[in-house]
Amino acid sequence: MDSSIGLARDRASAPGAARASAGTHRASDDKAMLRAAAELTRDLVAPRPAVYWADLVGSATVGYGALAVAVTSHAAGWTIAAAAVAVLALYRAMSFIHEVSHVKHASLPGFRLGWNMLVGVPMLVPSFMYEGVHTLHHAKTRYGTSEDPEYLPLALMKPWTLPAFVVVSALAPVALLVRYGVLSPLSVLVPKLRRAVMERYSALAINPNFRRRAPEGAALVQWNRLETAASVWAIALIASVASGIIPWRGFVIAMAIASAVAVLNQVRTLVAHLWENEGEAMSVTAQYLDSVNVPPPALLPMLWAPVGLRYHALHHLLPGLPYHALGEAHRRLTAALGEDSPFHKASYAGLPHLTAKIMRSTWRAG
């Protein structure tokens, strides 16, 4: 799940930038690794509905319960503690949008609808903002290119782009409230605005040059239903705050929690890839090496990279694998592949190491 707010492609052309990207984007496919990945995980491809539903409902229940405590408590300590729990739980619940964009819906009946009702509409990130967008990020000919909605060569850009990339995400809740509470209803009356809203403000993407194509058929019907629900909710929320039904204090706390969720996701996005490709098409192995795994024994990735996102490189190798199977898949491949396999080169120690790595890259490039 990536932020809907991006940065301009202010890329560096220094020799150091070229050297930084050379290690990944030129790698050819390692057939032994690809074959092992396919053969050793064939029994793991079926999603387990009980796991999905229990995780989603549990995360949403804890998240909204903690949110209610945070906005109603007048004790600073309780407010801060409840807000922290709400951020982590709601972030986990929202992260299931990634699974919704990949899973075969016939194998998880009703899960997309359930996720939208519990999380997508209330948090103003309905699933259509990711479905049909995220899959482009996995297309072999699009990954890392100008046609990838979820890629920027951040490691090769100016140093100031990294803090800007993270800080700007804090504005996401306000932007979403405006998008659904103001732009959606206005765009029904103004065709030119409607086109702009659909092309530029209807995708969770970080590439500012990405323009989304209008959906057709069943996808358009689903889009319209979800957008209407999100718009009604956003308008009701704005009206309730303006009329005093929802106190300003509670609204500000809720928006702060939503901003913290967006920032946490943006930090996770920042270290999900090495961001070293300058627009060339990449092999599957190269895409894997440009992506990041943060496997055990590290514990904190369970919080900042939930729902299988700690195995992001492995996910690019096996995008159809359900999140609950990624840990077992990683263990099998780690044991089966020799030390010389590129499989082991995508694993990193944790968030501080990855953050320092990309910061060093931007300083060399800048």
What confidence tens digit (pLDDT) does each residue in 137-149 have?
Answer: 999 899 999 999 9
Residue 3 counted as domain residue: no
**Cβ-based neighbours of 358, under 8 Å, separated by 6 or more:** 154, 155, 162, 270, 271, 274, 275
Mean pLDDT lowest among 11-25, 76-90, 137-151, 267-281: 11-25
Please determine, for residue 364, whether its predicted confidence score (pLDDT) is greater than 60.
Answer: yes
Give the mean model confidence (pLDDT) for residues 284-299. Answer: 95
The range of the structural domain enclosing residue 287 comes to 15-149+157-365
> d(Cα 130, Cα 337) in Å, to the nearest integer?
33
Q: Which two tokens stand for residue 117?
A: 């009702």
Is residue 28 one of the residues assigned to a domain?
Answer: yes
pLDDT score of 15 more than 80: no
4 assigned to some structural domain? no
Q: What is the C-alpha separation between 204 and 350, in angstroms, rounded?
A: 25
Q: Which two tokens stand for residue 108?
A: 């998880």
Q: How much of the chain exceeds pLDDT 90, in percent?
A: 89
CA 200 – CA 213 distance, rounded (Å): 10
Tokens encoding 104: 């075969």
Let me know if residue 337 belongs to a domain: yes
Confidence of residue 19 (pLDDT cuts 50, 70, 90): very low
pLDDT band at 6 (very low <50, low <70, confident <90, very high): very low
The mean per-residue pLDDT over the stretch 108-124 comes to 98
Question: Which residues does 219 contact at the CB level (< 8 Å), separation at least 6?
Answer: 128, 131, 132
- pLDDT one-digit tens code per residue, 295-319: 999 899 999 999 999 999 999 999 9
The mean pLDDT of 215-238, rounded to a whole number, is 96
- The helix/strand/coil state of 104 is coil
Q: Is the pLDDT of residue 12 over 80?
A: no
Q: Following DSSP, what letter does each residue of 197-255 receive, concatenated?
A: HHHHSSS----TT--PPPP-HHHHHHHHHHHHHHHHHHHHHHHHHHHTSS-HHHHHHHH
pLDDT of 244 over the 70 cut: yes
Higher local confidence (pLDDT), 293 or 12: 293
Report the pLDDT value the prediction gives residue 26, as an integer from 0 to 100: 63
Count: domains in the chain: 1
Q: Which residues contact 113 (CB under 8 A, 6 or more apart)?
A: none
What is residue 23's predicted lDDT score, i.e. its pLDDT?
52
Instruction: Report, as an integer, the average pLDDT of 108-126.
Output: 98
In DSSP terms, which residues pair with 311 in a beta bridge?
293
Amino acid 305: pLDDT: 97
- Does residue 1 lie within any of the structural domains? no
Q: What's the pLDDT band for 109 if we cut at 50, 70, 90?
A: very high
Amino acid code (one letter) for 52? Y
Question: Which pLDDT score, from 0 to 100, does residue 171 have?
Answer: 97
Average pLDDT over residues 46-51: 98
Average pLDDT of the chain, as a whole number: 92
- At 24, the pLDDT band (50, 70, 90 cuts) reads low
Q: What are the helix (H) ranges across the chain?
A: 15-25, 31-39, 49-72, 76-94, 96-102, 111-115, 134-137, 161-167, 172-178, 184-189, 191-200, 217-243, 248-270, 284-289, 301-304, 312-317, 326-336, 351-365
pLDDT digits (tens, 9 = 90+) for 313-360: 999 999 999 999 999 999 999 999 999 999 999 999 999 999 999 999
Residue 204 lies in a domain: yes
Considering the domain boundaries, does residue 224 fall inside one? yes
CA-to-CA distance for 32 and 293, rounded, in angstroms?
19
Per-residue pLDDT tens digits for 188-204: 999 999 999 999 999 99
> What local confidence, expressed as pLDDT, does residue 22 receive?
43
pLDDT tops 60 at residue 243: yes
Quick check: 7 pLDDT over 50? no
pLDDT band at 279 (very low <50, low <70, confident <90, very high): confident
Task: Evaluate whether residue 339 is within a structural domain.
Answer: yes
Angle between the N-to-C axes of helices 49-72 and 248-270, in degrees from 0 to 180, rounded to the nearest 10: 140
